[in-house]
Amino acid sequence: MKALQYRTIGAPPEVVTVPDPEPGPGQVLLKVTAAGVCHSDIAVMSWPAEGFPYELPLTLGHEGVGTVAALGAGVSGVREGDSVAVYGPWGCGTCAKCAEGKENYCLRADELGIRPPGLGAPGAMAEYLLVDDPRHLVPLDGLDPVAAVPLTDAGLTPYHAIKRSLPKLVPGSTAVVIGAGGLGHVAIQLLRALTPARVIALDVGDDKLRLAREVGAHEAVLSDAGAAGAVRRLTGGLGAEAVFDFVGAEPTVRTAGAVAAVEADVTIVGIGGGTLPVGFGHLPFEVSVTAPYWGSRGELIEVLGLARAGAVSVHTETFSLDEAPLAYERLHAGKINGRAVILP
């Protein structure tokens, strides 16, 4: 089968032919219908050889949907032909966190060598994908595969982040979304669907600011040195009760801290390497800062439910598997509006 692989440190990913996978006991083979392109893959492909955590070659793609093509021995609960989304942050399934559905925080994944597809295990940018357990599949139940696939990360990750701050997003409150890209433009919609908060989006690109407004941001502000001042002015000097940073670089985490209100939640989702000092006097009183990872199995079911109810719709640009390297180039150049989706 054809697959998009990251093969050489520092080189672009390549379309190659690899053997068709076969499902072992307990596994499910999917014929991939769509795979999403995440900025985290670009981060992975920028890491140096020293300390690189995954084996190469690595088939990319940690957002996947497909139809069940074959079942390994002993698999029940899914049938051939079912259309399903893949829950990506695989865990052991039995530790205390996994028991809560929080496989993203599995206590034993490292020790057992369990890795998400596309982030260690072979990913979804291929004609077929092996899923290690049917519990990692959620039925699409009528959702369009292209529109649904980004929800497995670009939907699930902001959903998890926002859910934590729902008690603070009361009427009259403000939420700030920094970076209105793949994750951020879904975050804006989730905030509008789940909260009465006023949503202020920050980005560096005019297209992104336009998309932010289209998907529901009340205000869209250029993310420059004046952005924090602009958010302060828009909030009567008080700042925002919740700030979600989908860039996580030094300047954006600084902005995130600078626009936080007293008792605000600052959630750094982007992995841009920025750090925000926490300590008395650094931030307004009782601001809490966190850096979450992906979301739980239950939350993925909830996000797909929201999409079925029409509350979120992902803006997508599609590419064939042969065009996948171009999709990464365009994402790297800031030229993707919404999420790029590969159709293998």
The residues of the shown chain that bind Zn ion, judged by CB under 5 A, are 38, 40, 91-92, 95, 98, 106, 108, 153
Is residue 150 a contact residue for ligand NAD (CB under 6 A)?
no
Distance CA 215, CA 280 (A): 37
**Per CB under 6 A, which region of 33-41, 112-120, 167-175, 274-282 contacts ligand NAD?**
33-41
Report the b/e string of 272-310 with b at 16+ CB within 10 A: bebebeeeeeebeeebebebbebbbbebbebbbebbeee
Rounded CA-CA distance 97/104 in Å is 8
Query: Minimal distance in Å, beta carbon 193 to ligand NAD?
Result: 18
Structure tokens at 52: 């690189």
Give the phi and the psi of residue 226 in degrees, each rounded to 5. Answer: -90, 0
Query: Residue 63 interacts with ligand NAD (CB under 6 A)?
Result: no
Q: Which does 91 bind (CB under 5 to 8 A by kind): Zn ion, ligand NAD, none?
A: Zn ion
Closer residue to ligand NAD in complex, CB, 222/343: 222
Binding residue count for ligand NAD, defined by CB under 6 A: 34
| Interactions with ligand NAD, residue window 311-340 (CB under 6 A) | 331, 334
Of 122, 137, 146, residue with least CA distance to 81? 137
308 binds, among ligand NAD, Zn ion, none (CB under 5 to 8 A by kind): none
From 91-99, 236-244, 265-273, 281-289, span contacting ligand NAD (CB under 6 A) = 265-273
Task: Give the span between the Cα atoms of 165 and 175, in whole angstroms.
Answer: 10
For residues 63 and 179, what is the distance between their CA atoms, to the nearest angstrom? 20
* d(C-alpha 157, C-alpha 216), whole Å: 19
Q: 268 pairs with which residues across the strands?
A: 245
Q: Which does 39 bind (CB under 5 to 8 A by kind): Zn ion, ligand NAD, none?
A: ligand NAD
CB of 152: closest distance to ligand NAD in angstroms? Answer: 10
Please give the residue ranges that form the binding site for ligand NAD (CB under 6 A): 38-40, 43, 153-154, 157, 178-184, 202-205, 208, 223, 246-249, 251-252, 269-272, 293-294, 331, 334
